[in-house]
Structure 1
Amino acid sequence: MAFPSWLDPFDAEPFVFFSKSHLWAMACIAVGLLLTYLFRNELRATSDRTRRNIRIYLALFMFGCEIVLQAWYIYGGVWSLRTSLPLELCSLSLLLSGVVLLTRSRLLHSALLFAGIAGALMAIVTPNLGYAYPHFRFIQFFTAHACIILALLYMTWVEQLRPTWRSVVASMVFVNVAAFVVYIMDVILDANYMFLRHKPDTASVLDLLGPYPVYILGEEILAMVMFSLMYGLFFAIPARVRSRMKRDRGTTF
């Protein structure tokens, strides 16, 4: 079967780290997130129906990202139980973030917030990807990972599901429960989802964490540090500063 170049799973330009297309992809994601933050108050001020429609359409789009990926695997004849199931952390985060959009579940949002954002961010910066722009897989990869971050931050900034320190713990619990279940599937399928049995073939942050299985412990420590820093820098410290500013304004009158 002859494939269009942008769909060919076998003969495509290889992905190059920090190439022009990679930098453009990261820049576009950053701009999209920045615009969401800048217009968060305007979005929050819209009607319940409008916000509900935004959540529904974004969730359906995210589910569609996974559906078209599975369709591409089948179309290209590369679908496999060992490599194609949505058992990577970001695949799970993509689907579950869509569920958060539809249900507004505080518990699920708390469990996913830091794990989903940190995992997607690391994937965007150091992708385990073999296809360069404008290949379908390149576009799908960055779109799906951007949607994870967008959905979770939308629920935080617009729907105001605010995290607490418990969210850090919840994210760690989510990661470890997911890893336990996925590892069982890895053993059953002789697979390597979530890289629980060996490192990826491409360069990644795991290369800095030692050999197998030491890097898994390193991931645990790195995750805890990242989740704690994310909560502290983006939520706890700003909240404390705002609270102090309010007290200061109250004492001037």
Structure 2
Amino acid sequence: MRGKLLHFFNYFFGKGDVEEFRYFSLAHLIPILILGVILFLIIKYRDQLAKSPREEKNRIIISVIMIVAEMSYFWRLLHPDLDANVYDHLPITICGIANVICAFMLLTKSKKCFDIVYFLVLGTSINAIITPAVLTYCGPTRYRYYQYWTEHMMLFISVFYMMFVHKMRPTWKSYIPSVAVLVSIGLLAVFANWLLGSGYTPDNHYTTANYLFINAVEDGFSIANFLPSNPWLKWLCILGIVSVLYLLPYIPWIIIDNRKKKQSPAKQTAE
């Protein structure tokens, strides 16, 4: 019995040697569908959520789930077969850092944090939903699959919750701190990749630091497959792409503001 239990945990918390996850399979589409339903419910029942006596507890619960999901990624690395090392497993990821900021935003109702994560999540983390390349060897029978989707779904849930329940919205000024954080993460990744270079992991596996996929394309298809191989050219391309992706989440607010401006003169004329 003990041997079977140990085998289960080794399997569940480990990863496969062959492809276990495919894009736009049921394992990919079901989490996206669940996320869509949750976001729809937040929008539909936003007033009830705002007036609920449990509103503060709801925010605390969401933030705790986010922190546990993020930390459990590192707890999982205690598994000996996962070969934890500084080349692959330092906390230098956009979604991981956004997760921490979102959790703090929920606990404090910080508008400054919202300004950062609105663009960070809707502009960049959406790529992790559409092309979850890191799940190539971790299908629905692995813990990493559930940890990944929980972490990334909660990013969108937290942003939509603060936007619709607490009526927060971004402005053009919000763009600046969010870009500053993104560039800081990028520079940190470039520095870490340069400083660490290549080396052997505890399991004597030769590898190269590749935070934010700047040095090489990881297993699994993503937008990184279309970028040049030169790290600096790749970084410049990423900045250009992200600049465009950052603009897209603000377009709905531009439309809303323009409609309000058109309606205001009409009301004054009617009066």
The two structures have a TM-score, normalised by structure 1, of: 0.89
Q: Which residue of 1 aligns with 2:230?
A: 212
Superposition deviation, residue 89 in structure 1: 0.8
Contact 1:198-1:212 at 8 Å conserved across structures: no
SS of residue in 1 equivalent to 2:77: helix
Q: Which residue of 1 aligns with 2:61?
A: 57
Q: Quick one: percent identity of the two aligned structures?
A: 23
Contact 1:168-1:231 at 8 Å conserved across structures: no
| Matches of 1:176 and 1:223, distance apart in 2 | 10
Contact 1:120-1:146 at 8 Å conserved across structures: no
Q: Where do 1:73-84 residues align within 5 Å?
A: 73-78=77-82, 79-84=84-89
CA deviation map 1:75-96 (0-9, x unaligned): 3542222222221111111112
Q: Which residue of 1 aligns with 2:48?
A: 42
Compared CA separation, residues 13 and 219, structure 1 to 2 (3 A): closer
| Matches of 2:109 and 2:261, distance apart in 1 | 27
Letter in 2 for 1:15: F
SS of residue in 2 equivalent to 1:237: helix
Superposition deviation, residue 149 in structure 1: 1.2
SS of residue in 2 equivalent to 1:74: coil
| Matches of 1:40 and 1:240, distance apart in 2 | 24
Compared CA separation, residues 212 and 203, structure 1 to 2 (3 A): farther
Superposition deviation, residue 242 in structure 1: 4.1
| Matches of 1:71 and 1:104, distance apart in 2 | 28
- Are 1:227 and 2:231 counterparts? no
Give the one of 118, 124, 130 matched to 2:123.
118
Superposition deviation, residue 3 in structure 1: 3.8
Superposition deviation, residue 110 in structure 1: 1.0
Give the one of 3, 14, 18 matched to 2:24.
18
Q: Where do 1:93-112 residues align within 5 Å?
A: 93-112=98-117
Contact 1:12-1:132 at 8 Å conserved across structures: no
Q: Where do 1:22-33 residues align within 5 Å?
A: 22-33=28-39
CA deviation map 1:153-181 (0-9, x unaligned): 21222122221011222221111011112
The two structures have a TM-score, normalised by structure 2, of: 0.83
Contact 1:112-1:174 at 8 Å conserved across structures: no
| Matches of 2:227 and 2:269, distance apart in 1 | 50
Superposition deviation, residue 65 in structure 1: 0.1
Q: Which residue of 1 aligns with 2:258?
A: 240
Compared CA separation, residues 215 and 157, structure 1 to 2 (3 A): same
- Which range is displaced more, 5-14 or 65-74? 5-14
- Which range is displaced more, 145-154 or 1-10? 1-10
SS of residue in 1 equivalent to 2:215: coil
Compared CA separation, residues 208 and 11, structure 1 to 2 (3 A): closer
| Matches of 1:90 and 1:27, distance apart in 2 | 20
Superposition deviation, residue 104 in structure 1: 2.2
Give runs of ≥4 in structure 1 deviating > 4 Å: 249-253
- Are 1:6 and 2:19 counterparts? no
Q: Which residue of 2 aligns with 1:69?
A: 73
Give the one of 146, 154, 157 matched to 2:153.
146
Contact 2:215-2:229 at 8 Å conserved across structures: no
Superposition deviation, residue 198 in structure 1: 2.4
Query: Cα RMSD between the aligned structures?
Result: 2.2
Contact 2:92-2:188 at 8 Å conserved across structures: no
Compared CA separation, residues 39 and 245, structure 1 to 2 (3 A): farther
Superposition deviation, residue 225 in structure 1: 1.0
| Matches of 1:245 and 1:148, distance apart in 2 | 34
| Matches of 2:263 and 2:141, distance apart in 1 | 48
